[in-house]
Structure 1
């Protein structure tokens, strides 16, 4: 199982069921795959794999969308689903998606007030970079990927976290990890799960901007009553 998706499968076990789904056997996940700008070839693979893992484990049911229509609490036409039908939203997205102000308010409320879950994969931190409240929810924004794709020295910092208990298989022999340097990020506001080993990376790279040498790879945090999980992994289909 790919590291990021294996971790996500464990994270889903701690996302609370809403009252709507309290009697259901599995949780309901809305997975959004939409990018404005750079397109990652791994998006369709990641979402399809999430759907398969949920189905095989029985832990969650996945609804995949390539647009943002469902990101609202407003009743939609016919049998279209909205946020009230889900326990968590997953973003493998990029750029400024098409959402009006009411949708944005509903989305933040879904996590913050309703106590639902949000999972961000890789370029989710390059999403809505002009929307500060989104950045606050996810924990920061993309700044750079100074080292391109490389043999990233990743440390599992918090093996006690449910998504890390069995230790995601980080294949450090592969040279296809693209790790983001995150701006507006502070570990005081999140629970860091994985980070780069700063003693084993090129800090003289002119694209490195963090003076504290703190390069988080994966983290979890609370946002109001809801839970948020983000990982910079996922650039390629292999991770």
Structure 2
């Protein structure tokens, strides 16, 4: 059986511990038999043979990407490479690139209250990514996002309106998957810093989701 290949590219805002979080996912994928390439520049997305990677993971926040790099990344996923990521390091990577956001299925817009206590509800989908997991409490940023209605939601969180009354009771997707051309896309809004991978439910969903996304 051919060893699967993964590309992890980290960068952008340091507050999201991109290098440390990328290392966590590198170790996670290697423990599942992947050959992992780690890069620190979006130039890696310009690789003419980008499609050789079974899985691509951006770990980049509030950055920019060249047109040719983005076009090549989108082409790779549309033709079968998987895409997986978490928190703002995938869904707040390139704010000026709607084509990228169309692929990921969502974009961060707010985290009312910043670091707070809230809860995650596992959707009753019976999906293997969330199999055996129950609702759990979480301490981090509660992401308010603009999301694509075509995503398949695997977990949600509910806003209480204590910061903004107009969002009281809003049920927001936290974990989702989708198809994009021949590629699979997985996203989790959890993972503000690398230490959050110590939360078993968070790490389990991220690991399973990445494996599902990989070609």
Q: TM-score range by the shorter chain?
A: 0.7 to 0.9
Question: Cα offset for 1:211?
Answer: 7.8
| 2:178 is the counterpart of 1:217 | no
1:104 alignment partner in structure 2: 70
1:50 to 5, 12, 25: 25
**Offset, 1:98:** 3.5
State whether residues 101 and 107 of structure 2, in contact with CA within 8 Å, keep that contact through their aligned partners in structure 1.
yes
Unpaired segments ≥5 residues, structure 1: 1-22, 75-81
Superimposed CA distance per residue, residues 151-170 of structure 1 (whole angstroms, 9 cap, x where no aligned partner): 22100114522221232894
Looking at structure 2, the residues matched to 89 and 162 of structure 1 have their Cα atoms a distance apart, in angstroms, of: 21
| Partner residue of 2:50 out of 67, 72, 83 | 83
Aligned equivalent of 1:70, options 44, 56, 60:
44
Deviation (angstroms), 1:50: 1.6
TM-score, length-normalised on structure 2? 0.81
Structure 2 alignment gaps of length 5 or more: 197-215
Secondary structure of the residue aligned to 1:69 is helix
CA contact (8 A) 1:51 1:61 kept: no
Deviation for aligned residue 1:194 = 0.9
Q: Which has the higher strand share?
A: 2
C-alpha distance in structure 2 between counterparts of 1:108 and 1:210, whole Å: 33
| Partner residue in 1 for 2:211 | none
- Rg larger in structure: 1
Residue deviations 1:75-112 (CA, integer Å, cap 9, x gap) = xxxxxxx413311110111123332x222211111111
In structure 2, C-alpha distance between the alignment counterparts of 1:52 and 1:158, rounded to whole Å? 30
Aligned 8 A contact 2:61 2:92 in 1: yes
- State the 1:52 CA deviation: 1.6
SS in 2 for 1:164: coil
**How much has 1:222 moved relative to structure 2?**
0.9
Selected match of 1:148 from 108, 114, 117: 114
Displacement of 1:181: 0.5
Contact 2:160 2:169 in 1 (8 A): no
Do the aligned residues in 1 keep the contact of 2:153 with 2:173 (CA within 8 Å)? Answer: yes
Asked if structure 2 preserves the Cα contact closer than 8 Å seen for 1:159 and 1:167, the reply is no
Q: What TM-score, normalized to structure 1?
A: 0.73
RMSD, matched Cα: 2.3
User: Which is helix-richer, 1 or 2?
Assistant: 2
1:73 positional shift: 4.2
CA distance in 2, matches of 1:102, 1:236: 30
